[in-house]
Amino acid sequence: MTGWQKKFGLAAEEIVSLRLLDEVFDEICRDYEVMLEELAKGGDAAFESDLAETLEGLEGEILKHLTRLGAR
């Protein structure tokens, strides 16, 4: 099970297909992946808190786009 599957209920292949259909969704997903990588690197508590807040916002945007695209 991939991270996408755990978090959003979709397989990675489904996310890839949706990203190809919607440029904005692709950009949001790219930002989400970059922020996850930054969080994995670690840092000070304030930085990690900011990243977690940003990730939460991006997750909301992803869910909104998935609903709009009919994937949820």
Name all contacts of 51-56 with Cβ < 8 Å and 24+ positions apart: none
Question: Is 25 a residue whose pLDDT tops 80?
Answer: yes
Q: pLDDT-derived band of residue 11, with 50, 70 and 90 as boundaries?
A: confident
Number of domains comprising the chain: 1
For residue 38, the enclosing domain spans 3-68
Question: Is 50 a residue whose pLDDT tops 80?
Answer: yes
